Structure 1
Amino acid sequence: MISALGKAFAQLSDPRVRRVLWWSLALALVIFIALWSGLGFLVTSGGDWLAAFVESAGWGDPWASIADWFATLGGFLLLVVVSFLVFPGVVSMIVPLFLDQVAEAVEERHYPGLPPARKQPYGEMIGDAVKLGLVTVALNLAALPFYLIFLFIPGLNLVLFYLLNGYLFGREYFELVAVRRMDHPSLKQLFREKRGTFMLAGALITFLFTIPIINLTAPLVGAAFMLHLFQRETGKRRGT
């Protein structure tokens, strides 16, 4: 598995993969600017509303200013936490749109004897992108109360984060890679047989998302990494 991860990182030297990386980062930046603008508006509006409420209760200054300050601080911290939780999902949402280019670069370099892969229709790629992103974001936001509760039990929130996202990324990245060369019943059977391997791979991809700078490359490295594991497991089946 470490060898497969090393090969995935080495693939970043490929000009085609670097081009995909810049495009994916640009799209992710646009999405996050929209997200931050929306959350910033909500935070500002919430602070103004709380200050007005305090004033209407007859407390006046300095309590209204203090309430506004606390609302702004709380909103900023919430923005940071939400950004951390949704970052993997938002960035991974872009991966299916460029997956063929990354997969072809990996296969040409490491598996030149493979027959051509199935070309995914754009509608299917967009559907996979939306599903991967929304499921990851939704489940992490749903788990937010538990992350906060587990702050009082050191390390437990991280265990939950890695278990949840390890399963999500293990399953979703595997399906993104496998659907190019397998029908759905066959890929689901392979995932059931090797669930532990692919979930561990998902946890490693999740870990990459938590490392600054490295997390910018995590979706593409994760896709290449999963492709190597997929080829290893299907190679075992073929006896090669």
Structure 2
Amino acid sequence: MILTAVRRAAANLTEPEFRSAFWKSIGLTVLFLVGLWFGLRYLFEWLLWPWMVMMAPDLPGWADAWASWFGVFAGIAAGIALAAGLALLIAPVTAIIAGMFLDDVAEIVETRDYPQDPPGTAVPLVRAAVLSLKFFGIVILGNLLALVLLLVPGVNLVAFFVVNGYLLGREFFEFAAMRFRSEDEAKALRRRHSGTVLMAGFVIAGLLAIPVLNLATPLFAAALMVHLHKAVSVRDRG
């Protein structure tokens, strides 16, 4: 079931109907990440500035050299922290971007691959925005936990996949399901098929961990969960 959904979602990404949503999604994701990079960079500079000012004026030679080395190490530390911050925020950024395009993607997939089924209904804009912001906060908290666990040998990579696999799988599946069901019904369906949804979430987390390809994660995840929702719905009826 999952392999079929993955194969069909990957094929969907190459279809002409996806091009507009694909470039919009990538463009917004890149802009968002670039904005975050500069925002985090200025934040670190602002935090380091009082220390540099305090050490700069009229320092003796040895202290001036020490201050220069401090600036080098501070720059390296800031670069590492910036990279870690962006890695931490890729998952929530993916969730926010996906919330903007899920209905467009779902409509394309439903029309092309399930023309015999009744079309879904888009989640109301305000409700979709509230759910996306709520999930944004949950994913940040989850990834903060995963970031702490990165310091634990043997747990770090597993923590990334478990946290993001669970959270992203849940979010994308429920969004796809709510085109046909109430929010409570979508949650109940996910719980009945929690193992399947989690495994699909691991696939999304795996794509999220691959540089460049992770920019396509929102559209792939949306298409994947539309296919998976269709499959588990048929299983429930059977």
TM-score (norm 1): 0.90
Given that 2:165 and 2:198 are in contact with CA atoms closer than 8 Å, whether structure 1 keeps it comes out as yes
Given that 2:18 and 2:105 are in contact with CA atoms closer than 8 Å, whether structure 1 keeps it comes out as yes
Aligned residues: 235
In structure 1, the residue matched to 2:45 is 44
The within-5 A match list for 1:90-129 is 90-129=93-132
Q: Classify the secondary structure of the residue corresponding to 1:6.
A: helix
> Structure 2: which 5+ residue stretches go unaligned?
none
Q: Which amino acid aligns with 1:10?
A: A
| 1:75-115 residue CA offsets vs partner (Å, 9 max, x unmatched) | 11010111112112112211121111111111122211111
In structure 2, the residue matched to 1:236 is 235
Specify which structure has the bigger relative contact order, considering alpha-carbon pairs within 8 angstroms and separated by 6 or more residues: 2
Q: Which amino acid aligns with 1:218?
A: T
The within-5 A match list for 1:44-63 is 44-54=45-55, 60-63=63-66
In structure 2, the residue matched to 1:133 is 136
Could you tell me how far apart the structure 1 residues matched to 2:125 and 2:205 are?
27
Given that 1:54 and 1:63 are in contact with CA atoms closer than 8 Å, whether structure 2 keeps it comes out as no
The within-5 A match list for 1:82-93 is 82-93=85-96
Given that 2:149 and 2:156 are in contact with CA atoms closer than 8 Å, whether structure 1 keeps it comes out as yes
Measure how far apart 1:54 and its partner are: 4.3
Q: Which amino acid aligns with 2:229?
A: F
Measure how far apart 1:201 and its partner are: 0.8
Given that 2:146 and 2:156 are in contact with CA atoms closer than 8 Å, whether structure 1 keeps it comes out as no
Percent identical residues:
35
| 1:113-169 residue CA offsets vs partner (Å, 9 max, x unmatched) | 11121232221222233233332123213442222x22xx1x420001111111101
In structure 2, the residue matched to 1:24 is 25
Could you tell me how far apart the structure 1 residues matched to 2:39 and 2:103 are?
32
> Structure 1: which 5+ residue stretches go unaligned?
none
Given that 1:50 and 1:68 are in contact with CA atoms closer than 8 Å, whether structure 2 keeps it comes out as no
In structure 2, the residue matched to 1:164 is 163
Q: Classify the secondary structure of the residue corresponding to 1:13.
A: coil
Q: Which amino acid aligns with 1:52?
A: V
Q: Classify the secondary structure of the residue corresponding to 2:179.
A: coil
**Structure 1 stretch displaced more, 190-199 or 45-54:** 45-54
In structure 1, the residue matched to 2:177 is 178
Could you tell me how far apart the structure 2 residues matched to 1:90 and 1:193 are?
28
